[in-house]
Structure 1
Amino acid sequence: MRNNVAVHRIVKNVKQRGQYIEPHSHTFFHYIYSLRGHTRVTADGEVYQTESGSLVLLPPGVTHDIVSEDTSCCLDLKFACSEHLTSQLAELPRYMRAVGQRENDLIRNVFEEAVGQERDYDEIINIRLYELLIILLRKKDDGEKPWLLVGHSEVSRSNESIRHVLQTVEEKLEHPIKVSELAEQCGYSENYFRQIFRECVGLSPNAYINQRKISKAKELMLYSELNVSQIAESLGYQSIHYFSRLFKKVVGIAPTDYVSRIKDNRPINILHNANTPEGEFEIPVRDKYSEI
């Protein structure tokens, strides 16, 4: 990787209304991705109000403080990179109110890799973050572009019927989805539909549907207050036992274990270096902020 991106820490943190982190600065980049709720980030005198899906980009040396305006949940990405890339990233805006679906997925994937800690997870995390940074820089250079949803590959764009089916799956994740109905939507026989779908997407229809549902389940586990049974029910699974078996098959661990790994206020050290704090957090959270 020519720009030597090195993520040293990822933190999922929940703050209650009025909790805050005092003004401070870092020698590394600190990106704050909002999962839910609202915070007020003040950076070098500029104030940014965060909401779900927003991204605050803080370069090294920028003094900032964070105040929670309700019950908020954020992912903090802390990293360093080459001098060349550092100068490029410094030109990005400090605040993006809503990043695209592709960026959302990359950020969440970084956290999931940190939680799962499978083989070479640190390398995957650095690669994913590097991809995110390149996308943000492209958008700065080229302006906003429409991004396809997850699973809408280049191949699938050659078949409008399959594109519409992928969109239908996204819209109906909270309901049971029958392959026969998707085939009927395309005007294909079920066998022919299965063949065309696999050619375009690379998975069977059932495998793709389950993959998207489990991805949605992980998203709900990450930022919602629903328990595992409620999440399974919300995604159209009538049996919690079937959902649990499927989740473990796709993710590698049981849903209850996954939830325990992503519990609130979870710091994960990816790389131990000079930026890694000795304690749980670099700056402690204070309980009340008098101006709220």
Structure 2
Amino acid sequence: MREEIYNFWHMCDSAFPLNVIMSGISYCDKNYRIERHGEELYSFEYIIDGNGVLEINSQTLYPQKNDVYILTPNSDHLYYSSEDHPWTKIWIVFKGDLAEYLFKRYLPADTYIIKDCNILSYMNEIINISSARDKSYSELIDEVSVMLLKIVLHVKNHLEHKMLSAAEQIKLCLDVNIENRLDMNDVSTQLGYSKNYIIKLFRETYGITPYAYFRKHKIELAKQYLLNTHLNINEISVKLNFADQHYFSSTFRAVVGISPSEYRRGKNKTASQTIPSSSNSC
């Protein structure tokens, strides 16, 4: 059995809305077995590979590859790996008012396992944050809080849309990441489908490639920022995670036919021309 563990229990401060107790990766063996009773802790544990058993509050569950299981405060729980195919899992243990709020606001009560819910990219980022040597505990808490919110929302959306087709799952992934920098490798990692399968299925279903769809809708969002905010071109470029302002402008021109500046000037001119003059009012 081998584990990579990052321990922060000695840094916990009740003044923080969230405290991270531990995070890590466990390469379990047949002897792996954890039992707790009534502790004030939350935990997300994502199964990278393998099988095992979770007994929690009179439920017996069988987390396996690509599943998430959740441990909640005051629960009686016991979990252990199978003998023939033990878990490899990545996990975080935490507590605090923010954790309580997120769980009560977004997740159904008494939900302890989410099947086929890939949160590996978020969990890997938590491990990266945990292992950084140049961060204060306060900085770590801020960054982990953001990742936990993303996990909770991902799990919530997964539970609400678990009946979506594969094509609909791909579209949802593109839509919720519209302000982010995203490529097909990211989508493949999040959904567990191959990149070629994603491109083929999406084109067959929607008549457009995922890349073209994502670019088109990102530019539609850029139009809204140009029309309805005072953000300059570079700020919009940064907000939408383009590589730089030049790439944003060239992409915008390729989709719309004019530059972002020309689009903003043209729409503002049209709007001003439609405002009636007050000097001749009756």
TM-score between the two structures when normalised by the length of structure 1: 0.47
TM-score between the two structures when normalised by the length of structure 2: 0.49
